[in-house]
Amino acid sequence: MPEITRDEVAHLADLARIDLSDAELDHLAPQLQVILESVASIQGLAGDDVPATSHPLPLTNVFREDVVVPGLTPEQALSGAPAVEEQRFSVPRILGDEQ
C-alpha cells in the first residue's frame, strides 16, 4: 500500500507553489492517503496483461508538415497579459528554480 507522509505533502505543495499551513497539512495528508488507497484498489484489478493507458485512441504518428502557418501578432499575443514592457510579458520577481 503506498503511503504519503505529511512531509511529502508539504514538499508537493511547495512544488505546486501552494502555501499550506500546518493545520492544512494535518488535514490534507490523511485525505490524500485515502485517495491513494482508492486508486491502488483500482490498480489491483488490472492484471499484467492490461497495459497502462495514456491515450484512449489507438493512434500513432500524428504529424504535421514543417510549414509555417500564421500565428498571432505581438499585440494579439500580449493582449491578455497583465503587464507588458518592451513588447514582452512582464512577470513578477522569480526566486530560484532557474531552468
Partner 1 sequence: MTETLVPFDEVLERYDPAMGLEVHVELNTNTKMFCGCPATFGGEPNSQVCPTCLGLPGSMPVVNAKAVESAIRIGLALNGKIAEWCRFARKNYFYPDMPKNFQTSQYDEPIVYDGYLDVEVEGETFRVEIERAHMEEDTGKTTHIGGSTGRIHGADYSLVDYNRAGIPLIEIVTRPILGTGAKAPLVAKAYVAALREILLGLGVSDVRMDQGSMRCDVNLSLSPKGADKLGTRTETKNVNSLRSVERAVRFEMSRHAAILDAGEAIFQETRHFHEDTGTTSAGRPKSDADDYRYFPEPDLVPVAPSREWVEELRGTLPEPPAEKRARLQAEWGYSDLEMRDVWAAGALTLIEATVAEGASAQAARKWWMAELSRAANDRGVELAEVGVTPAQVAEVQKLVDGGSLTDKLARQVFEGLLAGEGSVAEIVDARGLAVVSDDGALGEAVDEAIAAQPAVADKIRGGNQAAAGALIGAVMKATGGKADAKRVRELILEKLA
- According to CB under 8 A, which one of 1, 15, 23, 50 is a site residue for partner 1? 15
8 half-sphere exposure, CB direction, 13 A CA radius: 8
Q: Could you give the string, one character per residue 29-48, with x where binding to partner 1 holds by CB under 8 A and - elsewhere?
A: --------------------
- CA dist 5 and 9 (Å) reads 6
**Count residues contacting partner 1 (CB under 8 A)?**
37
Instruction: State yes or no: residue 96 binds partner 1 (CB under 8 A).
Output: yes
Longest dimension (CA), the chain: 57
Spacing of C-alpha 47 from chain mean position: 28
- Contact between 22 and partner 1 by CB under 8 A: the answer reads no
> Any contact of residue 94 with partner 1 (CB under 8 A)?
yes
